[in-house]
Amino acid sequence: MLMEAWTLWWVWLVMAAILGLAEMLLPGFILLGFALGALLMAGLTATGFFGASFAGTVLVYACSSVIAWWALNRRFPRERGSVRLWNRDINDN
């Protein structure tokens, strides 16, 4: 039963939505790549392009998620040393 659920497109869409919402609530810019991987899998399973086994489905999801995460980190790198220190209070005259 569990392995058959992963062949349904809406399961991947719900998983992408949950991961996207979790990315908005949790700082760290980590879950967005996995949400994009789940969104890709929703598209692949909805079109019928991808109908492999459970192991193949998870393998494609894992690879696409890691590639999406890597691409997002390359496109939007973290700024090192960008912490601003406040030496005085804005309300002091």
Please tell me the predicted confidence (pLDDT) of residue 82.
64
pLDDT in tens, 58-91: 899 999 999 999 999 888 877 776 667 778 787 7
pTM: 0.76
Burial annotation 33-56 (CB, 10 A radius, 16+ → b, else e): bbbbbbbbbbebbeeeebeeeeee
Taking the domains of the chain in order of start, what are their residue ranges? Answer: 2-75
Give the integer Cα–Cα distance in Å for 9 and 83. Answer: 42
